[in-house]
Structure 1
Amino acid sequence: MKKLTIFFLIVPFLWNVFSCSSKNQLEVESDRLYIDLEVEDSLRWEDLFEKVEVIPLEFTSESMLTDVDKILPQDDHFLIFDQKAQVLYKFDLKGKYISKLDKSGEGPDEYQLIYDVSINPYTGNIELLSGYGSFFIYDKSFEWVETFDFPEMISASKFDYFSEDVIILYSQFDREYTLRLYSRSEEKHLNKMNQPTKSVFENNNSVTISMLNNPLINTPDGLFFCIPFYNSVYRIGLDGLEFDYQWDFGKYVVDEGGIKKDDPEEKIMEQGRKIIESFSSLLNLYENEKFILVQYYLKGKLGTILYHKESQKYKILYDYVPDYSLVLLSDGIVGPTNSMRLQTIDKLLKNSNSGFAIEDKVNGAEESNPFLLKYTFANDYN
């Protein structure tokens, strides 16, 4: 099965930034949020961030990463999940390698085919989701705690925490149920749900164009589920999904071009490429108490919407930011980049007030790990 995946990210900053312009007042009509994508604001990196720090992840015989698929801050460390290697690495805040969870296998304390990993906010344990529908739990020291299987699971892609007891499971390829709510204490699914609508690109048997890295949105107000292409957001409850709101981008809407779900794969993929070149739908969502962070591609450029919830004002930026595995921190953001993308990183650092010379880290090195980029918000925005 071919899969075309595009990631989108968003960056928050505080109200001072938004107060400098009134033309970006969000139009709200009932349950629709109207965004004018023609608006482009010329904000400099140094206007937003105090510094941009490059954190080279130490390259050793024990820590040779293939990629950074997820970053999990825990205590004074970064946990880095490398899905291809099926390893969870631990680095300190300066990028020094500490240890790793590397127990792929079939033993009682081992795991198989991990798709997603997270830190339980209630226990601090590290929890891993297998695509086979198994759940593996380890403590902070990477010692095995428990393993269990979800009943009647065909596949599993992502998970999050509905409550201390209830896990929300998302499956991209299960044709019967998209979401399941599972109770640890009762050891059963409390509810099984399917998303209300699907695009042709998601319904086709031979090809899936996945626009969202993770459609589960964990917010201070609860858990939400975003449907790509239609850009609709639903609240997740024990009784099911309830429509909450929809992003409306005016003329920049997804046109399926007359594609039908039983059309040839080549025809669907070609129309998908056209969508990506014009407007691809939402790519990802992050939300905290003050902001909604949204990303998309428009005419080949990565766009970032910074929406202030209370004022209903927003900014749109088109510039380089880490384009996957983003983490939102209290004082900034962290995202990965690859050492091979030197020109992109160099451009970013020159447009910021960073004095870091990335060439010093890679010149003469035959191999190296990806870097982490940490953006610290300027004092005015903290």
Structure 2
Amino acid sequence: MKIKRLLGVISIILCCCSCNHSSKEQTGTPVLKVDLDAPVASLNALFRKTEVIPLETSDSCLVVTPADIQEYNNIYYLYDIHTSRVLAFDAQGKFLYPIGHKGQGPGEYVYISDFSINKQQKTIYLLDPIGIYYCYTLDGKFIQQNRLMSEEHGNYNWLYSFHDKLLTFSFPRDKESYCISIIRPEDGSFVGQLWNNHSTLLNHKIGVAFYSYQDKTYFTPALFDNEAYEITPNEVKVAYRWDFGKNNINLKGLGLTYEEDNYGTERTLLSKAIENQTIPYLLISQNQNDKYYNANLYYGYKIRQSIFYRKSDGKSFIIGKKENDIQLRPFIFTDEYIVCAIEAKDYEKYQSVLNEKEYQKLMSRTEDDNPCLVKFYFK
């Protein structure tokens, strides 16, 4: 299963820590220095209020594994990788409608790998990895279907709205293949391609590829790359870099050559290093808002660690140290709050961080119910 699709499996929340001031390299790129071994701190250091949003459960809206959640006009659009559906819920968690339907008729799809909301056009796009995408209104009415106009087909795994265009990320066939394409949504034509001449091996090991902040779009590539990049119509340029000191991952020690002829052997070697934790963590997603940079690390598929790096003074707060900790994976990251999803097996962890009213929302749920969303409001 792709790493991205594991994102909805783990539960959530937090503890905190560490400090270090950011610095800049000679190029002016911000360097975010974080000690991953620093002690935890209180949830209260980051958030002033926590709210539980139970998602309605019925045969028409069952959710198994949330892989992505996006919000627009107080509606949560949730992509479930297990059922390959996008479902809309209101701010209280009431089910509203699906976006499209599975099938083989007009406006229907067999499988989707990602979705994106275009707020300018007030439309929503669903992506089939073979290069077909479907456009719907925000209330789920079918508009049109297009195929990406490329000689290379398949392996399209991420879709993202980019002003009045779309971005896709596809796994490369070789080192010369472009991974990022800029698409005209109305007809699927390519107006730009970016990010080639990079390791094919590492570009098959990608976390969540894109996020936005202040009208800029960011690209966060390989799971072992501490650099985040800004995407413009013409280039991909370094925006900032994480520095975990002695805990930085050093891939050179694995004996990787990144040569195309060694791809199969080295992909197996890299996968084993992840499995046996020779590579201790994977950097699976990033975000930022006015106050914080955020990075989310995955340790051995069991522990999720979320880092909040405060922009004003370089202090960092680390959340999730042990398997029995409350662990956090933000699906939605705004200036005011973040939104996560949690499963029934993790509900008891929240007793110490929720007031009685909010905790009872969790305790009233059963294991067969849909997950709950948890909304954390920043101080």
* TM-score with structure 2 setting the length: 0.81
State the shift of 1:131 in Å: 0.9
Deviation at 1:171, TM superposition (A): 1.0
Q: 1:246 to 1:51 in 2, by over 3 A?
A: closer
User: Which stretch of structure 1 is more off in the superposition, 323-332 or 134-143?
Assistant: 323-332
For residues 57-68 of structure 1, the aligned pairs below 5 Å read: 57-68=55-66
SS at match of 2:127: strand
**Counterparts in 2 of 1:48 and 1:267: CA distance versus 1, 3 Å:** closer
> Residues 307-327 of structure 1: CA distance to partner in whole angstroms, max 9, x if unpaired?
233x35131313355644611
Query: Which residue of the partner structure matches residue 82 of structure 1?
Result: 80
Letter in 2 for 1:338: E
- Corresponding residue for residue 181 of structure 2: 180
| Alignment of 1:282 onto 2:283 | yes
Whether 1:223 aligns to 2:217 is yes
Q: Secondary structure at the match of 1:268?
A: helix
- The superposition leaves residues 110-159 of structure 1 with CA deviations (integer Å, 9 ceiling, x where unpaired) of 22321111211102212111112112111122111121111015231112
- 1:131 corresponds to which residue? 129
Q: Deviations over 1:147-204 (max 9, x none)?
A: 111101523111222222x21111135542211112346852122223453374x37x
What is the 5 A alignment of 1:32-43?
33-38=31-36, 40=38, 42-43=40-41
- AA matched with 1:219: Y
Counterpart mapping for 1:1-382 below 5 A: 3=2, 7=7, 23-30=19-26, 31=29, 33-38=31-36, 40=38, 42-152=40-150, 153-155=152-154, 156-164=156-164, 166-175=165-174, 176-184=177-185, 188-198=189-199, 200=201, 202=202, 209-210=205-206, 212=207, 214-220=208-214, 222-228=216-222, 229-256=224-251, 257-259=254-256, 261-263=263-265, 267-275=269-277, 278=280, 280-297=281-298, 301-309=303-311, 311=312, 313-319=314-320, 320=325, 323-324=328-329, 326-339=331-344, 341=345, 344-353=346-355, 355=357, 356-357=359-360, 360-362=363-365, 365=366, 367-377=368-378, 381=379
Mapped to 1, the partners of 2:216 and 2:123 lie a distance apart of 21
Verify the 8 A CA contact 1:90 1:97 in the aligned structure 2.
Answer: yes
Amino acid paired to 1:194: W
Q: Which has the higher contact order (CA 8 A, sep 6+)?
A: 1
Kept in 2, the 8 Å contact 1:230–1:281? The answer is no
Q: Go from structure 1 to structure 2 and tell me whether the alpha carbon gap of 1:86 and 1:218 turns closer, same or farther (over 3 Å shift).
A: same
CA contact (8 A) 2:178 2:193 kept: yes
**Percent of residue pairs identical:** 20
The 1-side partners of 2:316 and 2:55 are apart by 32
**Following TM superposition, by how much is the alpha carbon of 1:366 offset from its aligned partner in structure 2, in angstroms?**
6.5
CA deviation after TM superposition for structure 1 residue 253, in Å: 2.3
Query: In structure 2, what residue type is equivalent to 1:57?
Result: L
Following superposition, the deviation at residue 39 of structure 1 comes to 5.7
State the secondary structure of the residue aligned to 2:225. coil
Check the 8 A contact 1:39/1:316 in 2, yes or no: no
* SS of the residue 2:283 aligns to: coil
**SS, match of residue 247 in structure 2:** coil
RMSD between superposed Cα atoms in Å: 3.3
Per-residue deviation, residues 214-238 of structure 1 (Å, max 9, x unmatched): 1223222522222321322333222
Q: Which amino acid aligns with 2:157?
A: S
Q: Is the 8 A contact 2:146 2:187 kept in 1?
A: no
Matched position secondary structure for 2:133: strand
Which deviates the most, 51-60 or 244-253?
244-253
**Count of residues in Structure 1 that have an aligned counterpart in Structure 2:** 355
Please state whether the residue corresponding to 2:220 is helix, strand or coil: strand
User: What runs of 5+ residues in structure 2 fail to find an aligned partner?
Assistant: 258-262
Instruction: Tell me the secondary structure at the aligned position of residue 108 of structure 1.
Output: coil
SS of residue paired to 1:349: helix
* CA separation of 1:24 and 1:134: change in aligned 2, threshold 3 A: same
TM-score if structure 1 supplies the norm length? 0.80
- Alpha-carbon distance, 1:90 to partner: 2.0
